[in-house]
Structure 1
Amino acid sequence: MTDTTSSEPAPIELPEGLWSQPAVDMSAVAEVDAVESVRSVRAFASLTYDYTPGLATTRFLRAIKEKRLVGERCSETGKVYIPPRGVSPVSGLPTTEQVDLGLDGTVVSFCVVNLDFTGNAQEIPYVSALILVDGSDIPIYGLVREIPYNEVQPGLRLKSVWVEDSEMTTSFENIKWWAPNGEPDVPASELADYV
């Protein structure tokens, strides 16, 4: 029978064969209450991993190594997605039609970044933007440079700025940043469906 007058919870009994951590005697560390608690710890971490792309992403990465941007079209909605994933996120149908896209785009929305992240080589402040690549129906993230941060606005027309040919790999990092291309801005009202 369990004592219901005790303020301590009854021990949990595990089925035979399951291991449980034994109770810890805290009386030996009673002085812990007098120590100021740690409020934060800064620990640097790095994660390296291998990624196995599917067919759609493989085609995209091979194209980007050739300074081309490709997407895939949904057969039901007609929308073009970049980077392609092989399946429409709206209809769930396979996207089998590959579409060559432009190398220019339009700022849909943006953020002025005022914090320096570890390992970040950007001059503060800088602009991170959602960019609608010409011919696509979904924006991608990119850095906007070669323009003062306070002059960036939705509708700004951009060109992609690439790494040198000798540095090209199968990576989205082949696009170093996006810069104004000199074309007139797109009216913000035309971007409402992409925000």
Structure 2
Amino acid sequence: MPENLTAPLVVSFPFTRSLGPVQSAFLTGLRERTVLGVRTRDGRVLVPPVEYDPVTAEEIRDLVEVATTGKVTTWAWNGSPRPRQPLPHPFAWALVRLDGADTALLHALDADGPQAVRTGMRVRIRWAARREGAITDIACFEPCATAAAGHARAHSGEFPEPVTGITAPARLDYTYTPGRAQSRHLNALARHRTLGERCPSCRKVCVPPRGACPTCGVATTEQVEVGPRGTVTTFCVVNIKAKDAHIDVPYVYAHIALDGADLALHGRIAGIPCDQVRMGLRVEPVWKEGDRYPDHYRPTGEPDAAYDTYKESP
């Protein structure tokens, strides 16, 4: 029986962007415990603010300060918070229309349980102890005993040292489960064998297999062992070290058409200076103990393959 495979995967990167005058004023205001919106030509106050009217597409710059209290317009209970969410314990995600605003702001609402939350309830901002000009300067919303409403007023938008840019960490954690074709392929790699699948229509052998021919869209089931040697069809030299990578730069990543395969796969080339890697170079896999896949490919010492033998390999 083939092994059922799963793997935890994380996609993580920092997203850095500069801010225009409206977003800069909004985040600078949060740092100063002030909430700013923008007023449209028809008098609506938008919070969070935008730089262009979503109805007319007109540019809008008329900043308006709104209250730090408001009411819940809708909500959903989050009984199992994930890492890096606003609160470590169960809370509600709520849309809150602040007093003086005509649109609602999405944020966390700290409440004792779903029975303590209702549409129309009064809430107020709980500010973060340390503020730096980000939406997280609002730690969350919390129930508010008073029913008093704030009033919008014009605001100059002038603060010392305005926030001009933000870096937002983006992260996605998920568990990957390969399908039938990829599971066969990965289980074979653990035995230092490479399996592809042949299309019953065009007869091309796809490695790694996808369960369907990428050219014809026809389901594939016929297994074909390929390689282990192959030919470099194209390559690039990597000069930037990836975060947490244990590979010294520069290094070469290549498309490698394994013998018997019609589609090239990716692989790192080592055992040769970067400036000696070339199209047509014959290579073979190098395995490290315990690895499910080749650590890298190295030159075999064979003569280079003729261009006509690999020019059709994608």
SS at match of 1:83: coil
CA displacement, residues 59-98 of structure 1 (integer Å, 9 cap, x when unaligned): 1111011110000000110100011111111111111110
Higher helix share: 1
Corresponding residue number in structure 2 for 1:85: 210
Amino acid at match of 1:8: R
**Which of 229, 237, 240 lines up with 1:104 in the alignment?**
229
* Alpha-carbon shift at residue 33 of structure 1 (Å): 7.5
2:255 corresponds to which residue? 130
CA distance in 2, matches of 1:90, 1:141: 19
Query: Alpha-carbon deviations, 1:148-169, whole Å to 9, x = none?
Result: 00000000000000111xx134
Structure 2 unmatched runs, 5+: 1-38, 45-53, 55-72, 75-94, 103-151
Q: Distance in 1 between matches of 2:42 and 2:298?
A: 64
Q: How does 1:57-68 map to 2 (within 5 A)?
A: 57-68=182-193
1:8 and 2:41 aligned: yes
Going from structure 1 to structure 2, the CA distance change for 1:117 and 1:189 (only over 3 Å counts) comes to same
The one-letter code of the counterpart of 2:181 is: A
Q: Evaluate the alpha carbon distance shift between residue 175 and residue 31 of structure 1 in structure 2; reply closer, same or farther with a 3 A threshold.
A: same
Question: Could you tell me which residue of structure 1 aligns to residue 304 of structure 2?
Answer: 185
The aligned counterpart of 2:35 is none
- Residue number among 136, 139, 158 corresponding to 1:31 in the alignment: 158
How far, CA to CA, are the matches of 2:237 and 2:243 in structure 1? 17
Identity among equivalent positions (%) equals 35
Describe the shift of the 1:50–1:34 C-alpha distance in structure 2 as closer, same or farther (beyond 3 A).
closer
- Pick from 129, 154, 159 the counterpart of residue 284 of structure 2: 159
Which of the two has greater strand per residue? Answer: 2
**1:134-183 deviations in Å (ceiling 9; x for gaps):** 1111011110000000000000000000111xx134xxxx2100000111
Secondary structure of 1:50's partner?
strand
Asked which structure has the greater CA Rg, the reply is 2
Distance of 2:258 and 2:42 partners within structure 1 = 60
Stretches of structure 1 that go unaligned for 5 or more consecutive residues are 1-5
Q: Per the alignment, do residues 32 and 79 of structure 1 end up closer, same or farther by CA in structure 2, a change over 3 Å counting?
A: farther
Which amino acid in 2 is paired with 1:175?
Answer: P
Question: Given residue 37 of structure 1, which amino acid in structure 2 is its aligned partner?
Answer: T
When normalised by structure 2's length, the TM-score is: 0.51
TM-score, normalised relative to structure 1: 0.80
